[in-house]
Amino acid sequence: VTATAHRLRIGEVAELTGLTARTIRYYEEIGLLPASADREQGKHRLYSEDEVERIKEIVRLKELLGLTLEQLSQLLDAESARAELRREWHATEDPGEQRRILTEALRHLGTQLDLVRQRRAEIVRLEAELDERREFLHERLAKLES
Amino acid sequence: VTATAHRLRIGEVAELTGLTARTIRYYEEIGLLPASADREQGKHRLYSEDEVERIKEIVRLKELLGLTLEQLSQLLDAESARAELRREWHATEDPGEQRRILTEALRHLGTQLDLVRQRRAEIVRLEAELDERREFLHERLAKLES
DNA sequence: TTGCTCCTCACGTCACGTGAGGTGGC
DNA sequence: TTGCTCCTCACGTCACGTGAGGTGGC
């Protein structure tokens, strides 16, 4: 709904997402990212800012959760399912249907949250161990200075 | 200092660490893990429980921080440097030396902690976003039920 | 028109996976 | 001795990296 629908080229998208142009093409090649709509063979790929945000999101999930592209694909499929549910939600007035849709969406989110929480717990534990060692060394240093 | 110094075979180590035997051999091949001491060509690799703990630690760092094996090697080198400092620490009585050693060790730890903290911040942010969406869906569901 | 970025092959690399064929230890 | 696990090549695969040679748009 913005006035300027500026479209970005692959190099700019790479810059903004932290990927390389090659990686973006590769993700398109394996079907992880949708192909730039109605692009003629050999012509430049163009991306909207929404698409860039989407790619950032995908990269974040991959890196933070340490997923393979296969696992990432599955997770994105689950997300599309949620998006589909949103559309269904707007299409129905039946409270029973609406409950089913919400419940389903919550289930998808739950799966994702479980992954993230597990990661966080692991990293917090590692951080605590390192903090403890640092505390120990600091005390030793303090004793030495006194 | 335990009574039984049971040595484990590569399959058992793989089981315990979540790696494959191939991966353990590969890490040895590229010098990431030290080669099983005085093993004759073609004979079985044997590992102590300390070595297994060490490998677990390495795997954890790699996965949680999302490092390449090259970066992981560098980080492990920094750790060895810290271990070396510990030995030096025990070898000297000079307070000036001791201060130098502690300060150096703290610097190494600081680098490691920076990496970990950054990861944690990123993952916490993602978790917060997902939580928020879940809260939203929950409220919607609650309204529907009332 | 000149630069720069983009395009498509296509081969290289990193971090292993996966057999093939053979040997070692409870 | 029989099984199972281990051994060493060595080729395959995933997720891109890195040119080569050519075209497109401000």
Measure, in angstroms, how far nucleotide C10 C1' is from residue A28 CA: 18
Measure, in angstroms, how far nucleotide D20 C1' is from residue A34 CA: 28
Question: How many angstroms separate the CA of residue A38 from the nearest CA in chain B?
Answer: 33
Q: Which of A94, A137, A143 to mutate to test the interface with B (most CBs of B within 10 A)?
A: A137
pTM of this structure: 0.84
Residue A2 — pLDDT band, cuts 50, 70, 90?
very low
Instruction: Look up residue A43 and give its two tokens.
Output: 């012509």
Lowest mean pLDDT, pick from A126-130, B37-41, B44-48, B109-113: B37-41
Q: If residue A47 lies in a helix (H) or strand (E), which one and from where to where?
A: strand A46-47
Instruction: Please give the nucleotide, over all strands, whose C1' is closest to the CA of residue A59.
Output: D15
CB contacts of B143 in chain A (<8 Å) are none
CB contacts of B141 in chain A (<8 Å) are 99, 102-103, 106
Q: What is the pLDDT of residues B21-39, one digit of tens each?
A: 999 999 999 999 998 777 8
Residue A116 — pLDDT band, cuts 50, 70, 90?
very high
**CB-CB contact of B116 with B65 (8 Å):** yes
Residue that wins the pLDDT comparison between B97 and A146 = B97
Please report the pLDDT score of residue A3 as a whole number.
45
Per-residue DSSP letters for B66-107?
T--HHHHHHHHHHHHHHHHHHHHHHH---HHHHHHHHHHHHH
Out of A110, A126, A138, closest to residue B116 by CB: A126
Q: What is the pLDDT of residues B32-90, one digit of tens each?
A: 999 877 788 889 999 999 999 999 999 999 999 989 999 999 989 888 888 888 899 88
**CB-CB contact of B10 with B21 (8 Å):** yes
